Amino acid sequence: MDPTLFLVTSTLVIVTLILFITKKCSNLLSLPPGKYGWPIYGETHEYISRPEKFMRERMTKYSSKIFKTSVLGEKVAILCGPSGHKFLFSNDGKLFEFWMPPSLALALSVRDIDNNSWSSKLVQEQLHKFLKLESMQHLVAIMDSKAAHLFDTFWAPYEQVKVQPLAKDFTFTLTCCLFINYSSQEQVKEVAKPFFELHEDTMSKSVSLPFYSAKKRQEAVKNKIISIIKERQIEVKNREKEDDDGLFHDLLTRVLKASHESGMIIDHKVIAGKINSLLFASFYTISTAVTFIVYYLADHPHVYDKVLQEHLEIARSKKAGELLNWKDIQKMKYSWNVACETMRLRPPALGSFREVLADFTYAGFRVPKGWKVAWNAYSSHKDPEYFPNPEEFEPSRFEGNNNPIPPYAFVPFGGGPLMCGGKEYARIEILVFLHSLVTRFKFWKVNPLEEIIYTPIATPVEGLPIRLEKIK
């Protein structure tokens, strides 16, 4: 036999054997420890309604690195702790792709969105510009002005209020203003009614709202947003000759302006789907965060006093009627520590799912293609290895002086390529809310023992009623 042919043939045989043996050995590896729970429904209820307990018990019983379960009819491997988070985030787009429950995907109009379409790419391009640091700085004064109006209108006239519904109104109003330029309360209510009917039901019913009901409500939200798009297109066309470079543009106007200038026709359904998803993403997480900031400040007067002093110093440095600016936000360091500690104890987003694109091994266990993987903030946020005295509310732990928090241990915004792009937006809105709150009121819980439930979002069962006392 020709020596070259023999060498090539031998090499191919050896490589084939190695691949065969490797695959065989991989298949012999065990699946992660755990259980699937009930048929079809699995452990969905436990995972959604008691997430902290769910994670703690299974990490103790099965493995602190990885365990299996079944959620919403899917076999899921949950990767735990900073190492698990790092592995998952680092392999987004390689081993994993983003996945969400079908009913939630329907509610968020994901099925209407072709991410490769020109319309979808246009929204992503304009969103990226909108969320750039330079653009974010211009939003501070707009948020502050809006916040002052909302607090003076819906908080100041009362001695007692419920924080959670007001936090939702606050964040949704700012979101409508900045994303679709709906500023008046009448305009916001037009969008809020179908939006809340869809998403409140979808979230509260364990993301399993019946298909017909979800589809009908999703159509109502989509049609409302499409009507806004069509109205705004006419406005953009009528103002094409005006010099408005110095004006603030909401996200939707930016998209439609770019489309008009390019001469390309946009797909209304795709744009509406994207806007719906963005309204949802920016609304629930921020409203939950600010609700629980109030919750913990009411429990810790000494922390409230430090936050108040920080904001009074900023207020005293400004002229009467002067709005907050970017430099003021940068001075709110302790306030952001308070927000971070709140998000550690009550993560606004518990985690998310991915679909497995190819078999992989992790921590000595095999996870097959087609399974789902998930990360959950509670796998590290309450771990005493990373957060000493994890049940204590200690904002100073985020100062990072003596015991810096390890990478991937604190993940309120996720990580990797799919990390929340609105992190800075959320930070500004949270801090603006806090400034308006503490410079106006002292407050106390009406029911210090109010129960917290998960729906799956952390929710005070009574809406967190507080008593207000105006600061003179």
Contacts of 144 (CB under 8 A, 6+ apart): 323, 324, 432, 435, 436
Asked whether 256 and 236 are in contact (CB, 8 A), the reply is yes
For residue 152, give the DSSP letter.
H
Amino acid at 30: S
Burial 377-387 (b: 16+ CB within 10 A, else e): bbbbbbbeebb
Q: What six digits make up the tokens of 77?
A: 């491997």
* CA–CA–CA angle 309, 133, 226 (5° rounding): 110
**Cα separation of 279 and 428, whole Å?**
17
- Closest by CA position to 32, among listed 362, 358, 380, 375: 362
Q: What six digits make up the tokens of 434?
A: 């806090």
Asked whether 433 and 170 are in contact (CB, 8 A), the reply is yes
Asked whether 274 and 114 are in contact (CB, 8 A), the reply is no
Quickly tell me which residue has 């609700």 as its tokens. 291
Q: What six digits make up the tokens of 162?
A: 């419920």
Instruction: Classify residue 185 as exposed, middle or buried by CB count within 10 Å of its CB (0-12, 13-18, 19+).
Output: middle
**Cα separation of 68 and 77, whole Å?**
4
User: Is residue 299 helix, strand or coil?
Assistant: helix
C-alpha distances in Å from residue 224, one per residue of 10, 195, 233: 66, 9, 14
Cis peptide before 39 (omega within 30 of 0): no
**Cα separation of 44 and 23, whole Å?**
32
Amino acid at 12: L
User: Is residue 459 helix, strand or coil?
Assistant: strand
**Cα separation of 101 and 96, whole Å?**
16
Amino acid at 247: L
**Cα separation of 470 and 118, whole Å?**
51
- Closest by CA position to 203, among listed 472, 457, 466: 457
CA dihedral over 285, 134, 268, 102, signed as positive or negative:
negative
Does the annotation place 420 within a ligand binding site?
Answer: yes
The binding site for heme consists of: 420
The binding site consists of: 420
